[in-house]
A and B are shown apart, each in its own frame.
Chain A
Amino acid sequence: MPTVTYTQPNGTQQTLQVEEGTTLMRAAVSNGIDGIIGECGGQAMCATCHVYVRPEYAEALPEISDDEDEMLDCATAERMDSSRLGCQIKIDAELTGIVVDIPAGQL
């Protein structure tokens, strides 16, 4: 099973084993990871699942769609090059080991 590591703003890390095909957002919300809200259930309508993806995983990520791009501009925390919406990233074998940083706020 692929693994995902979530890093809190204070540096604490939590690593999950997740079902292939789940999203970064769904895995976080189902496992009670603080700091990822996913208010809209994964429709790219709320920008509350914003994460920063560590650069070494950037190439393996799917391209940013127009909808995701628009919503990232609405994220509360500063948008950076590594910014993605967790609901738009499906975890598969290629992305196993992915490490993300959770922003200080989603609201």
Chain B
Amino acid sequence: MTTQAAQCPYHGNSETRSADAASVPGSSDQARTTASQDAADYAVADWVDVAELASDPYPTYARLRAESPVAWVPQLNKFLVTNYAGCHTVEQDQEIFSANVSGATMTRAIGAQPMLRKDDPEHSVDRAPVNPVLRPKSIKEVWGPVFERNAETYLENVAELGPEEADLNRDYAAPVASQNLIDLLGLKDVSVEQVRRWSHDFIAGMGNVLDDQSIWDRCDASTAEADALLKELIPYYRQNPDASMVSAFANSGLPTSNVAANVKLTISGGMNEPQHMVTNMVWALSSHHEQRAQVLADPSLWASVFDEAVRWQSPIGMYPRQTTRETVLEGVRIPAGAGIGVVVASANHDAAHFGASAADFDIHRPKRPHLAFGSGVHLCAGHWAAKTSIGQIAVPMAYKRFPGLRVDERRNESWDGWVFRGLTSLPVTWN
């Protein structure tokens, strides 16, 4: 599971001001000076409470959208962009808003720069080899049966625990997401628990802006294990190519260091999100009985349930960019070298884009593009895998297996995080 939410693993800019001067070369001091001199140019939202963000960020998002959708937030050392138009603009222009954010934690954590931190053309070189594995036909035909098998395995697990004890996150969502990723990547001789540990340790390393040595030690230990496995797998897949992601990377001609970084990126980024979508969907349907009845009567609605759930409670709330030059965004002047937080979870609740009901869960709302998977060249490579493995398979199968599946209100549920947000526990029961 993700660590303390304020430590965003997907950015190099630090969360604390003291670390910023070290991590943003040159322009950080300039940015701070400019901030104090040109305070009138952009709003400063120093009221933002980071602890409140982690417990429930949506009221903060609503206030930011209303008052200052592009605002400097000193305690995060970033400009937070919280409206749909602003986030969309940022994602469309990788020249001005670069993904190559400064700060060494991601590279330090996984050993080399992964594709997520590159702009085109370098980004495309890393990304292109895995797109074919992840297109819808491959996902449905090759991987669908695997995702079904994994769902079946852990539904048994849930059944054994029973309707008084089962926790959908711990007993189903987490192991299913982990095993699906192991299979899609093509990792061999690893357990669900081991890969979950790797994912946790990599994410902690990526967020380790305070340079805690014990976090580096754990991250390095997990990195060493993953690297050792890849050392065997890469030559294996060159000899025995198959439909997996590691096979695609191994046969791409990319240097081993690129392959290793991108596989570790995938382990970090491709587990928690599908996991959270399992619990998000069940949580949403548990409090929207009419819509739940509709989808159970008409399975063709599962795609809409997934899509609306990922918009309504986006597992990735924010990711970073950095300006390469001074620019104006939504009428606000932003200096060069500034850290930007693209708060897609907030954009996904923007009434200006989704209408007055933006904050509601409504599977029948008119289709509008949302940003839960990002947009532009970094659009989540795994989005078809997520839609299929979770939206078409894991959740529908759970409802089929457990009639009356619902949140068990006798036990406590728990949400956490804003940069990454999800249910850390979701007790469920059934008839």
Q: Chain A: residues with CB nearer than 8 A to chain B?
A: 29, 37, 39-46, 48, 67, 70-71, 73-74, 105-107
Contact = CB atoms under 8 A, between A and B. Distances in A.
A39 B135 contact: no
Nearest to A69: B137
B369 A48 contact: yes
Interface string B126-151: 01100110111100000000000000
A106 B370 CA distance: 12
A71 to B, nearest CB: 7
B77 to A, nearest CB: 28
A67 B132 contact: yes
Interface stretch (B215-223, B225-233, B318-326, B375-383): B375-383
Contacts of B375: 39-41
A41 B379 contact: yes
A13 B329 CA distance: 29
B367 A74 contact: no
A71 B92 CA distance: 21
Interface in B327-380: 367-369, 373, 375-379
A51 to B, nearest CB: 17
Given A45-B135, A74-B136, A37 B92 contact: no
Contacts of A105: 367
A29 B92 contact: yes
* A contacts with B: majority SS: loop
Contacts of B368: 107
Contacts of A107: 367-369
A29 B88 CA distance: 11
A43 B367 CA distance: 22
9 contacts: A40-B379, A43-B377, A44-B131, A45-B379, A70-B136, A71-B136, A73-B137, A106-B369, A107-B367
* B contacts with A: majority SS: loop
B144 to A, nearest CB: 15
A103 to B, nearest CB: 13
B32 to A, nearest CB: 33
B131 A43 contact: yes
B353 to A, nearest CB: 13
Interface string B55-75: 000000000000000000000
B426 to A, nearest CB: 29
Contacts of A74: 136
Nearest to A66: B132
Which residue among A42, A45, A74 has the maximum number of chain B CB atoms within 10 Å of its CB? Answer: A45
Nearest to B378: A41
Nearest to B376: A41
A85 to B, nearest CB: 12
Contacts of B377: 40-43
A45 B131 contact: yes
Which residue among B124, B368, B375, B378 has the maximum number of chain A CB atoms within 10 Å of its CB? Answer: B375
Contacts of B124: 43
Nearest to B371: A39
A74 B303 CA distance: 13
Contact of B369 (A37, A43, A44, A70): A37
Contacts of B381: 45
A10 B377 CA distance: 30
A68 B132 CA distance: 11
A70 B135 contact: yes
B132 A43 contact: no
Nearest 8 Cβ contacts at the A-B interface: A41-B377, A107-B367, A41-B376, A40-B379, A70-B137, A39-B375, A74-B136, A37-B369
B379 A46 contact: yes
